[in-house]
Structure 1
Amino acid sequence: MTIDKVIGSAADAVADIPDGASIAVGGFGLCGNPMVLITAMLDAGTTELSVVSNNCGVDDWGLGLLLAAGRIRKMTSSYVGENKEFERRYLSGELELELTPQGSLAEKLRAGGSGIAGFFTQTGVGTQVAEGGLPQRYNADGTIAQASPAKQTQQFDVDGVLKEFVLEPAISTDFAIVHALRGDRHGNLVFNKSARNFSPLAAMAGRICIAEVEELVEPGAIDPDAVHLPGVYVHRVVEVGSDIEKRIERRTVSQSDANAAGGN
């Protein structure tokens, strides 16, 4: 039996994502953002989304497009420092934010995709991450409307020393969207260098994973040892081509590099 997961267009691939859905999104900064799928969701008018992603893009790119259109209700992220609209919406009470340490966020997604309910970690012990009180949503007047709750902690013997750990619940979402360099019709994916970042983990966490791929190949064309994410985690594949726009979040060029290139 052939399992062909290819969908004809990005619009068709995201058509059944309902308002209020939770969605895990791959990418780190602007690297590896599934822009074609994000744009398709923007065009579809999907709103009240609860998004799990390392960050929320910038004001005019990445998830920042959905944010600026008022489509995101809640973000679960580890870094939010490059988006002024994000700051405005969060501080004005228009956006709920669950800040999570980056490594914990990655493991929460991996655990969710692996059927693990939660895990204990030392990250965040002794801080508001464990003790609660992080502002998650503000009132319009700047007072805190909702703060993070305290989490369960427990001591474990580590090399003969009792150390405290905090229980982090796993994350699973209704959908996931990711961008890959290459994929086959069965959903096996290969990511390009650092664009791999959070993408495999986000894909694992989604009950329905939609992958946009620059190059679509036939099953067997990808060496099994080269597969970064097996197709068992992927439900829909959309070919977007390699000429899509890819932006750099912050470009810096040193004086020595400029001189070597013939610059002033």
Structure 2
Amino acid sequence: MIDKTIGSAAEAVADIPDGASIAVGGFGLSGNPTALIDALLAQGTTDLEIVSNNCGVDDWGLGVLLQAHRIRRIVASYVGENKEFERQFLSGELELELTPQGTLAEKLRAGGSGIAAFFTQTGVGTQVAEGGLPRRYAADGSVAVASPKKDVRTFAVRGEEREFVLEEAIATDFSLVHALAADRHGNLVFNKAARNFNPIAAMAGRICIAQVERLVEPGELDPDAVHLPGVYVHRIVEVGSGIEKRIEKRTVRAGGGN
């Protein structure tokens, strides 16, 4: 039997070196692999290149690595909930490749599927394709690194010629994800919104490390319920169902009416 379980989060991330590229699951604060992120923070790994939908908030998720200045570069689609992210980016301490959300998802999926690049209409006619988006600022506020111009080609779709921009796939050294359940072979089940970027982030990593709330024996998971097959997963850490989960914004109605 292939048993992929690891005794602790610290042990699971112990070989992630300085300068590694890591795809991280989660959307907002839903489905963040916080135990693995905290273990990475504790061991002091730095100079990281992170690929994730967003960078958590100031004191949670990837935000804790950011606060400790452990992230050198991030590829993301949304960064609006993190004030420290804004400060580091505008001061030139952090490099950002801002990517349309659907494009980012497909770049990760393509990387995990062995596809080198793909064409998409998203970004045509904007700086995404034409280049010039700030990626890193200099200390004086000028643009030190800007995004390059991308290849744009015309294809006929349903008899209509349209322009498409070439986007390269993303494949990383490691990936960190959170799942509801797993068996010892690494088959993963995600819970509702926590499914988000977790499966495609897992696919993109050469070594995928999954923290799971519940570990079961092989054969206990319904094959039709498996969201990600174990072939993509290399290490599993059981963190329990009591792991803390936060909500970005809680909205309630005054008065309790219908």
Q: Same fold (TM over 0.5)?
A: yes
Q: Could you list the runs of 4 or more consecutive aligned residues of structure 1 that deviate by over 4 angstroms after TM superposition?
A: none
TM-superposition CA deviations, 1:202-257 (whole Å, max 9, x none): 0000000000000000001001110000000000000000111100011111225x
1:112 has 2:111 as partner: yes
In the alignment of these two chains, the number of paired residues is 258
**Counterpart of 2:146?**
147
Give the distance between the partners of 2:47 and 2:219, measured in 1 at CA: 40
Give the distance between the partners of 1:159 and 1:18, measured in 2 at CA: 48
Equivalent residues in 2 for 1:22-41, closer than 5 Å: 22-41=21-40
**Counterpart of 1:221?**
220
Give the distance between the partners of 1:135 and 1:46, measured in 2 at CA: 26
Task: Find the residue that maps to 2:96 and give its secondary structure.
Answer: strand
Give the distance between the partners of 1:181 and 1:232, measured in 2 at CA: 18
Equivalent residues in 2 for 1:84-99, closer than 5 Å: 84-99=83-98
1:156 has 2:161 as partner: no
TM superposition shift of 1:259: 4.7
TM-superposition CA deviations, 1:79-121 (whole Å, max 9, x none): 0000000000000000000000000000000000000001000
**Counterpart of 1:247?**
246
Give the distance between the partners of 2:116 and 2:158, measured in 1 at CA: 26
Give the distance between the partners of 2:175 and 2:253, measured in 1 at CA: 38
Give the distance between the partners of 2:37 and 2:158, measured in 1 at CA: 47
Letter in structure 2 aligned against 1:131: E
1:211 has 2:210 as partner: yes
Letter in structure 2 aligned against 1:229: L
TM superposition shift of 1:145: 0.1
1:83 has 2:82 as partner: yes
Task: Find the residue that maps to 2:18 and give its secondary structure.
Answer: coil
Equivalent residues in 2 for 1:66-81, closer than 5 Å: 66-81=65-80
**Counterpart of 2:180?**
181
Unaligned 5+ segments in structure 2 are none
The percentage of counterpart residues that share the same residue type is 76
Give the distance between the partners of 1:9 and 1:109, measured in 2 at CA: 27
TM-superposition CA deviations, 1:115-154 (whole Å, max 9, x none): 0001000000000000000000000111000000000010
Give the distance between the partners of 1:255 and 1:119, measured in 2 at CA: 48
TM-superposition CA deviations, 1:170-198 (whole Å, max 9, x none): 00000000000000100000000000000
Task: Find the residue that maps to 1:133 and give its secondary structure.
Answer: coil
Give the distance between the partners of 2:219 and 2:211, measured in 1 at CA: 19
Give the distance between the partners of 1:42 and 1:162, measured in 2 at CA: 49
Give the distance between the partners of 2:170 and 2:104, measured in 1 at CA: 8
Give the distance between the partners of 1:172 and 1:220, measured in 2 at CA: 30
1:237 has 2:240 as partner: no
Letter in structure 2 aligned against 1:129: V
Give the distance between the partners of 2:50 and 2:75, measured in 1 at CA: 6
Letter in structure 1 aligned against 2:194: A
Letter in structure 1 aligned against 2:84: E
Give the distance between the partners of 2:149 and 2:161, measured in 1 at CA: 21
TM superposition shift of 1:158: 1.2
Unaligned 5+ segments in structure 1 are none
Letter in structure 1 aligned against 2:42: D
Give the distance between the partners of 1:160 and 1:242, measured in 2 at CA: 52
Give the distance between the partners of 1:209 and 1:80, measured in 2 at CA: 24
Give the distance between the partners of 1:26 and 1:230, measured in 2 at CA: 16
The TM-score with structure 2 as length reference comes to 0.99
Give the distance between the partners of 1:175 and 1:224, measured in 2 at CA: 26
CA RMSD in angstroms, aligned pairs only: 0.7
Give the distance between the partners of 2:189 and 2:98, measured in 1 at CA: 29
